[in-house]
């Protein structure tokens, strides 16, 4: 159990050099899943035999033809809102318990073509919004750093499975922070790309003008590798942008000299004060970037409260529109938490929604003006360590403003990565944010920081049990 778990980049090099077999790698991941899954509930559906067969086929093909690229033979899994042909896609909900799609989501197909091997479907908060819930057909995922705590959501199973080494990477979705939250609380890396960078076709919607798809993995470099496979124009997704897909690893190794970083101090010091460990991690990161040649200056954006009021009105209204027919027909099919949250959307008016969309344009313009002299922004991703899984209030998302939804409102890319550990021994994190289409620069800064820190060498103690 305590054997070294390779990153995607490491495994790719070893597979290409024929010093690591995809079959051996798959067996290692399945072994961890067999040992840990009963405590973590990261998977809704784990198909070990199909994964083994796919690994054998990949190994034979790679031995014959060489690897397709850095993802060939890599153990992977999909959040259970990504549609998979012939395999149930449930959104962790009784409503879709027996839903079997006829086709793969666009990004599922892209990743399969790159050679990833899926172990199955991962837990999520119900329809990417209602969780952690205990009244659904499957239990909620738990945090591998301490199973009494939550892994955040809604990409909860992905965060838990990657951190526990059951998979080397997985898909997530992010409407208000659902990639960056699990990345933060599980001590891994996660990227919400620019709105329109990755197709959402075949991914069950939550709020379509805020929804993003993207990957989670153990390292920033691994996220860059995965995003390279997921990104690309999809003419059948009306929000998909027809922009070139860069080499997301193209700036890695260039350091941070000359980068201008805006520290959004008021987000995490005044608007929603964070824990001492989270604050220290952010401040230490700012000192590190300056010492490495970047310029770090305070930047003032619109308040978190403004972003959150705008973002949540849009999210609730659009989510209710998705679910209205089901809610009217049989609301009891939903878990209590999601059902009660969706009802809020039904109370909003068209005037409320249009006012929020108008406010969104204003907030995006003000953010662009404030960040005009910056290449990147730096702030918190979560207020502290993961809370206990049985102590998350139903209305937690309304009680305090979160740090991630501002960049769903603007559509700007955001990267979360570990900055250390809190008093309880669980991870804390920071959020780096770029301007639209600047993911390579985000990866450049995040990778440079990550390689200088000891966090990537430490896995959850649960793996030693």
Backbone phi, then psi, for 283, in 5-degree steps?
-65, -40
Residue-wise pLDDT for 273-320, tens only, equals: 999 999 999 999 999 999 999 999 999 999 999 999 999 999 999 999
3-class DSSP assignment, residue 414: strand
- State the pLDDT confidence band at 465, using cuts at 50, 70 and 90: low
Q: What pTM, to 2 d.p., does this model score?
A: 0.98
Give the CB-side neighbour count of residue 175, counting CA atoms within 13 A. Answer: 27
- State the pLDDT confidence band at 461, using cuts at 50, 70 and 90: confident
Give the CB-side neighbour count of residue 14, counting CA atoms within 13 A. Answer: 16
Q: What's residue 3's pLDDT?
A: 59
Asked if residue 182 has pLDDT above 70, the reply is yes
Q: Are strands 189-192 and 212-217 parallel, antiparallel or unpaired?
A: antiparallel
Asked if residue 24 has pLDDT above 70, the reply is yes
Q: What's residue 396's pLDDT?
A: 85
Structure tokens at 146: 């301490």
User: What domains appear along the chain, each with residue ranges and CATH number?
Assistant: 8-464 (3.90.1300.10)
Least confident residue range of 41-55, 89-103, 450-464 = 450-464
Q: Report the run of H or E that residue 162 belongs to, with start and end.
A: helix 156-163
Mean pLDDT for the stretch of residues 237-246: 98
Residue-wise pLDDT for 116-171, tens only, equals: 999 999 999 999 999 999 999 999 999 999 999 999 999 999 999 999 999 999 99
> Of 211, 208, 212, 250, nearest to 228 (Cα)?
250
Mean pLDDT for the stretch of residues 16-32: 97
Residue-wise pLDDT for 60-109, tens only, equals: 999 999 999 999 999 999 999 999 999 999 999 999 999 999 999 999 99
Contact, 108 vs 84, CB < 8 A? yes
Asked if residue 1 has pLDDT above 60, the reply is no
Mean pLDDT for the stretch of residues 229-253: 98
* 273: Cβ contacts below 8 Å, ≥ 6 apart: 383
Q: What's residue 402's pLDDT?
A: 96
- Interatomic CA distance for residues 162 and 150, integer angstroms: 14
CA angle (47 as vertex; 184, 163 as ends), nearest 5: 20
- Per the listing, tokens 């973590």 go with 40
Taking the CB of residue 184, how many other CB atoms lie within 10 A of it?
A: 34
- What's the per-residue H, E or C state across 11-72? HHHHHHCCCCCHHHHHHHHHHHHHHHHHHHCCEEEECHHHHHHHHHHHHHHHHHHCCCCCCC
Q: What's residue 2's pLDDT?
A: 46
Mean pLDDT for the stretch of residues 345-366: 98
- Interatomic CA distance for residues 194 and 367, integer angstroms: 15
3-class DSSP assignment, residue 77: strand
What dihedral do alpha carbons 186, 24, 84, 106 form, nearest 10°?
A: 80
Average pLDDT taken over every residue of the chain: 97
Handedness of CA 217, 136, 146, 2 (dihedral sign): negative
Radius of gyration of the chain (CA): 20
Handedness of CA 280, 282, 284, 287 (dihedral sign): negative
Mean pLDDT for the stretch of residues 432-460: 97
- State the pLDDT confidence band at 215, using cuts at 50, 70 and 90: very high
Asked if residue 424 has pLDDT above 50, the reply is yes
Residue-wise pLDDT for 309-349, tens only, equals: 999 999 999 999 999 999 999 999 999 999 999 999 999 99
- State the pLDDT confidence band at 38, using cuts at 50, 70 and 90: very high
Enumerate the active-site residues: 79, 154, 178
Mean pLDDT for the stretch of residues 366-386: 98
3-class DSSP assignment, residue 294: coil
> Of 133, 135, 153, nearest to 143 (Cα)?
153
């Amino acid at each position: 159990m305590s054997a070294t778990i390779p990153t995607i980049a490491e495994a790719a090099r070893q597979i290409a050099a024929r010093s690591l077999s995809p079959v051996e790698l798959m067996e290692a991941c399945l072994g961890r899943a067999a040992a840990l899954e009963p405590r973590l509930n990261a998977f809704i559906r784990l198909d070990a035999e199909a994964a083994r067969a796919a690994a054998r086929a990949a190994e034979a093909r790679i031995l014959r033809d060489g690897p397709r690229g850095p993802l060939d033979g890599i153990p992977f899994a999909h959040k259970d809102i990504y549609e998979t042909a012939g395999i149930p896609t449930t959104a962790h909900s009784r409503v879709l318990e027996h839903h079997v799609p006829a086709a793969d989501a666009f990004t599922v197909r892209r990743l399969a073509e790159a050679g990833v091997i899926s172990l199955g479907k991962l837990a999520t908060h119900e329809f990417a919004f209602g969780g952690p819930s205990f009244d659904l057909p499957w239990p909620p995922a738990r945090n591998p750093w301490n199973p009494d705590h939550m892994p955040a959501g809604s990409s909860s199973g992905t965060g838990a499975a990657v951190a526990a080494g059951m998979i080397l990477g997985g898909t997530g979705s992010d409407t208000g922070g659902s990639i960056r939250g699990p990345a933060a609380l599980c001590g891994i890396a996660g990227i919400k790309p620019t709105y329109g960078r990755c197709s959402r076709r075949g991914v069950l919607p939550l709020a379509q003008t805020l929804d993003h798809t993207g990957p989670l993995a153990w390292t920033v470099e691994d996220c860059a590798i995965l995003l390279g496979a997921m990104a690309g124009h999809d003419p059948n997704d009306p929000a998909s942008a027809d922009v070139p897909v860069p080499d997301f690893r193209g700036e890695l190794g260039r350091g941070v000299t000359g980068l201008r970083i805006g520290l959004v101090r008021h987000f995490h010091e005044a608007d929603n004060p964070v824990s001492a460990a989270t604050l220290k991690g952010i401040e230490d990161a700012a000192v590190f970037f300056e010492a490495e040649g970047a310029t770090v200056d305070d930047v003032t954006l619109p308040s978190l409260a403004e972003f959150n009021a705008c973002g949540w009105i849009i999210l609730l209204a659009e989510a209710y529109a998705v679910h209205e027919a089901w809610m009217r027909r049989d609301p009891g099919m939903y878990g209590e938490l999601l059902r009660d949250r969706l009802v809020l959307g039904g109370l909003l008016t068209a005037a409320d929604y249009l006012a929020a969309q108008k406010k969104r344009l204003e907030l995006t313009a003000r953010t662009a003006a404030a960040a005009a002299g910056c290449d990147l922004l730096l702030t918190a991703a979560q207020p502290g360590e993961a809370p206990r899984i049985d102590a998350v209030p139903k209305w937690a998302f309304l009680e305090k403003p979160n740090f991630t939804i501002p960049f769903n409102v603007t559509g700007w890319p955001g990267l979360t990565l570990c900055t250390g550990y809190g008093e309880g021994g669980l991870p804390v994190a920071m959020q780096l944010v770029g301007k639209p289409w600047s993911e390579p620069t985000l990866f450049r800064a995040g990778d440079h920081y990550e390689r200088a820190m000891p966090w990537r060498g430490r896995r959850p103690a649960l793996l030693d049990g």
